[in-house]
Copies of this chain bind each other. A is one copy, B any other.
Amino acid sequence: MLGYGTVGSGAYRMLEDNQASIQAKTGTRIEVVRIGVKDAQKPRDLPSELFTTDLDSIVNDPEIDTIAELIGGTDPAGRLVELALNNGKNVVTANKELMAKHGSRLVHLAKAKRLDLHYEAAVGGGIPLIQPLKHQLAGNDVLKMMGILNGTTNFILTAMQQDGADFAEVLSDAQAKGYAEADPTNDVDGFDTMYKISVLASIAFGRQVAIEEVHREGIRSISKADMKYADVLGYVIKLLGICEPVGDRVRVRVHPTFLPKTHPLGSVNGVYNGLWLHGDFVGDVMFSGRGAGSDPTASAVVGDLIDVARNMAIDGPGSALPYDPDMPTEPITTLQSRYYIRIRTLDRPLVLGKIATAMGQRGVSIAAMEMKTIVPHEEGEIVFLTDYATESDFREAVASLTAEVGVSKVHATIRVED
């Protein structure tokens, strides 16, 4: 085992606690013989002989047949995983960043070596997502996939929604409680979701989606005003990873989204994650559960280890399913979407017609409107939902509002999924 943090300690505990039932299922005992850590002297509740700071010694140990990589990040995790595979060891990893960046290469290597490389824990914590996509749903052409894949941001958005609090307030509360990191960038700016949806898209479409091709927006700009308008209009705001085929290409994006309250993902709250997908034969399928944390993530790691053990017991050739790199992608600019806009403007009675005209000239029609203050000649807020429009048209329309129409500020624009 490489790493003994939240996930590693959970996986170790699960292997111990459920040893008897796991042995019954696999016909073999999974034994953790060595754990690689940064500081071998740190007081832990396990014998200190188990630990070493020499991670290479584990990956090079001929007595060890399987490596659980639970360090995270690409360095040294990537080098160690590659070395393990080259040394003929099966690998189980929880590393979304590594798989998003180097998945294609690593899975090809595992396949060539007839080894297992499983990474169920990389996406959705304990929720089975990756293997069902690879296996039970493999016959489908995936027509759309949307996921709430980051527990921290879903916790923050849910708290904002339920308590009417602002982003900064909820974030510091989440940090105090340990639900958000001191540097929350990876979560709140959508990097974590980007890695995860990129991994899922690569499996669903059979070729690796480069993370540079994923359109990414985080949730820092979401205000309690947006939350309130969403509620009034029948929506909740969720940070979604979304992918969909566009001809032979795929568009992958991460952004806050207006989602109808009645959508199955609309009630996935707090630290829960969920994945909804639409396949051409299966129709709508939905998975949800705890997407992070020690125990749920351990569940996925141990499930993968059990599969490795079973495969070794029957002397199987490994079941790594390789996918090629360089999935062609479609940019966000060609997206057809509905949009929410919140603007602040003076003298609304006069400006309203101008706004509708300026947007209409760019191909964006207004479908619904809410106003907050209704004192004439004072500055007030107006909120619109548009009809379907092309992203590039919408951006031009938004630019025209401040440039031509006299809107003092466009406070927020958020895409709407219906």
Give residues in A with beta carbon < 8 Å to B.
10, 14-15, 17-18, 21-22, 24-25, 114, 120, 126-128, 131-132, 135-141, 206, 264, 267, 279-290, 295-296, 298-300, 302-307, 310, 314-319, 321
Contacts and interface: CB of A to CB of B under 8 A. Distances in A.
A312 to B, nearest CB: 11
B131 A136 contact: yes
Nearest to A121: B136
Contact of A18 (B126, B131, B280, B299): B280
B296 A289 contact: no
Contacts of A132: 128, 131-132, 136
Contacts of A289: 282-286
A299 B126 contact: no
22 contacts: A10-B281, A21-B141, A22-B138, A22-B139, A24-B206, A120-B136, A126-B281, A127-B282, A128-B128, A131-B131, A136-B303, A137-B303, A138-B302, A139-B298, A279-B299, A281-B302, A282-B299, A284-B289, A285-B287, A285-B289, A286-B288, A314-B317
Contacts of A299: 136-137, 139-140, 279, 281-282
Nearest to A278: B289
Contacts of A307: 135, 138
A206 B15 CA distance: 17
Interface pairs A-B: 5 shortest CB-CB: A139-B302, A126-B282, A128-B136, A128-B132, A285-B289
B306 A138 contact: yes
A316 B139 CA distance: 20
A318 to B, nearest CB: 8
A306 B14 contact: no
A288 B264 contact: yes
Given A132-B132, A286-B289, A287-B286, A295 B317 contact: no
